[in-house]
Amino acid sequence: MSTPTLPHAPAPPYALDTGDPMHSQHASPDRPPAVDCAHERGHITDSRFYGHIYATETSRAVFCDVCRFQSWLDIEAQLALAQAELGMIPQWAADRIAESARVHLLDLDGVRAEIRRTAHSLVGLLRAFQSVCGPEAGEYIHYGTTTQDIQDTGQVLAMKRVLDNLQTLIAGLVERLVEICEEHAATVVLGRTHAQPALPIGFGLKAAGWIDELLRHDERIEAMRPRVLVLQLFGGAGSMAGFEGKGPELLDGLAGRLGLSVPDTGWHASRDRMAEYVSTLAMTAGTLGRIADEIRTLGRPEIGEVQEAWYLGKVGSSTMPHKRNPEGCEQIVVMARLAAAQAGTALTAMGGDHERDGRTLRMEWVCVPDVSHYTLTACEIMTRVLGGLSVRTDRALANVLEVRDQVATEGLMLAFAGHVGKQSAHERIYQLIQRAIGERRPLRELIEADERLGGVLDPAELDVLFDPARYLGDSALLTRRVTDRARGWLKGRRAA
């Protein structure tokens, strides 16, 4: 019996014949027609399938095309209202402009066509907006200003929304880390340097370092807000010539309406503010990447000092059923690396000519959204990771005890220093511990049999020195200093 031949579906109306058999609209019995992709969602942050691990709902809402256009319309509306207050345009026109500043009223397909026809990034939108406002009020749209005034200000408003969300997420991370610090201030873990055993520390001290770093990023964000979140409204060449001598008043009025700071001069060609924003977010993501990498490493089975949350149904491998991969931590590291890559773009974009050119802003349209997507995503994933993180105190202690002789050497050296001198004690302890490691013998046995050190310290003193839990130094105190400051900071944020 022959197998029936299934009919091919008709080619979609906008499948392209690119010459590539994989994309040709010409179907054949052995080659199905192209899938209708409509060439949308090309960037990974917009992917319907993978976008959730590269961008957040907030970041996508800030930087989507429709939201960008709505932001520009909002600025045009507030500009018109501010100009009406100064008598620069009629109040009725400003009211009409403000009432019509709704992106859903515009023919966006027409805007798209006009952008391509005019090769201009804003005129197409302004013409569509004018048609909605009507011929009379439409004449007062965009009065005396220039394209980059609107687009720069729109970008700053987007950045403001990102920073608001970012600082909220940082506060959540700090709050969770404070809980971890307070629970594990005295939990003995192995401090490592150069990936090798160093000294015992409290786990809280490790997490306190993470808090301290995050709080510095929040300080940077707060410090840059008045410097970076500023209005752009200086006209074609930065002289405010089109504002009838009322430029400074208009600048103050519009900045107040939009909740932005007032710069002293135009910054069409001065892009240090954008570079600072991108770099600060990249640094914040970098810290999250460092924390994630630490958690990932400490969670390795051969270390096993921390454990991420896991749920039945989460799959680590398509071929190895046992896998429980640290996907969250790995993705945070990916976000940190991608964010770092945007800083170079932002620094490159600082090189604009004369009073203005198109190269700066168009580069920022890439790096500003991308660093925002990646940093917010890193924060959201880290929130989930820390929320389900547990410290395995038994494994942590076992790891310390496994190398207790090695981590005791500093304390031993300092204890013997009072008897034989610090440098001499260092040299002798060095020789004995290296011998102990090589011969796999207990260090204490070698010390007690040593002609120079044997009998110098009594057994009770040696008991203390070989007990890792009694050589945590000021771990708990240093942890408490950070958590006290963090709690005060959190209280201040809530009050604000």
Catalytic residues: 194, 317
Alpha-carbon distance of 454 to 457, in angstroms, equals 7
Q: Which residue has the tokens 């192995």?
A: 190
71, 64 Cβ separation under 8 angstroms: no
Q: How far is CA 405 from the centre of its chain?
A: 41
**Burial class (CB within 10 angstroms; exposed 0-12, middle 13-18, buried 19+) of 184:** buried
154, 71 Cβ separation under 8 angstroms: yes
Alpha-carbon distance of 251 to 331, in angstroms, equals 42
Alpha-carbon distance of 455 to 476, in angstroms, equals 33
Alpha-carbon distance of 116 to 111, in angstroms, equals 9
292, 335 Cβ separation under 8 angstroms: no
Name, in order, each residue with C-beta under 8 angstroms of 454's C-beta and a sequence gap of 6 or more.
447, 448
| ∠ CA 157-86-250, rounded to 5° | 35
